[in-house]
A = this chain, B = another copy of it.
């Protein structure tokens, strides 16, 4: 197996590019794909104040590393979700990465700052953990970016993530969700600009990036996410990809090019229907409450006695 560029020994085969790469030229490929995503979708420019949403997993550490390599100045924010040992280990990976590279990492623990954690929120509201977690992370990242004057919030969503979400939204033909599934969401009332520089790179490529670059990250999936629908969709799309390499990339990129423009009106009308939370000022949907989804979640979860992650997992495996 030889590198397509230099004919030296390759370390990775990429069927959708119909090519193999050595570590040096694999690194160049990843930098090029990231640059292309940033440029094609006008994600950010040098000198912007950039905040990366950091989980301690491969994608968020890889995107932070890639941006640093490309000369962008980015700080990180880790949100402590309180998911037992999994959260403790994740935080250590994030802190070690930042310290070794002289990067600034902010940490916001939900329990200390907001008096709840994800296992407790899930139990208190009866919602699946991933749903409570998504609401919490979105709120804390958005708020932190706005309060601290960042120009853009970066997340590590890779091609596989976007493809799985797009597949789920397509299965339901949920036009509202489809209209918002873009690599860039512009800043607007109560929301920072949000961008996804890894949309042209896969999960497997980001794992390889971390290996090649010597980045230690938390390898385990979140114990509360195991068996969720998102993972099942990834599995299905990987089967399609194996049969026809390049399908995942064309599914996502053709959506952005062919379909998203037809949904712009829906996106605009969605955006204009938003109000403000009477407590924290964050945007609210039209759910008939003057509190945002996060404040409502927090109200219920912070009044509940703390629930351990083990208890939640045991209950899940019994049902």
Contact = CB atoms under 8 A, between A and B. Distances in A.
Contacts of A233: 240
B240 A236 contact: yes
A294 to B, nearest CB: 28
Interface stretch (A3-11, A42-50, A171-179): A171-179
B232 A243 contact: yes
A250 interface: yes
A171 B236 contact: no
B175 A258 contact: yes
Interface string A110-136: 000000000000000000000000000
Tell me the number of copies of this protein: 2
A188 to B, nearest CB: 23
Contacts of A257: 173
A84 B212 CA distance: 56
Contacts of A86: none
A171 B240 contact: yes
A232 B239 CA distance: 9
**Interface SS of A by simple majority:** helix
A15 B259 CA distance: 33
A173 B251 CA distance: 7
Contacts of A254: 172-173
Nearest to A263: B262
A248 to B, nearest CB: 9
A263 B262 CA distance: 8
A87 interface: no
Contacts of A258: 173-175
A170 interface: yes
Contacts of A262: 175, 262-263
Interface in A157-200: 170-175
Contact of A171 (B175, B250, B263): B250
A164 to B, nearest CB: 12
B172 A250 contact: yes
A304 B246 CA distance: 35
A187 to B, nearest CB: 27
Contacts of A96: none
Interface in A197-253: 229, 232-233, 236, 239-240, 243-244, 247, 250-251
5 contacts: A170-B251, A171-B240, A175-B259, A229-B244, A232-B243
Interface of A: 170-175, 229, 232-233, 236, 239-240, 243-244, 247, 250-251, 254-255, 257-259, 262-263
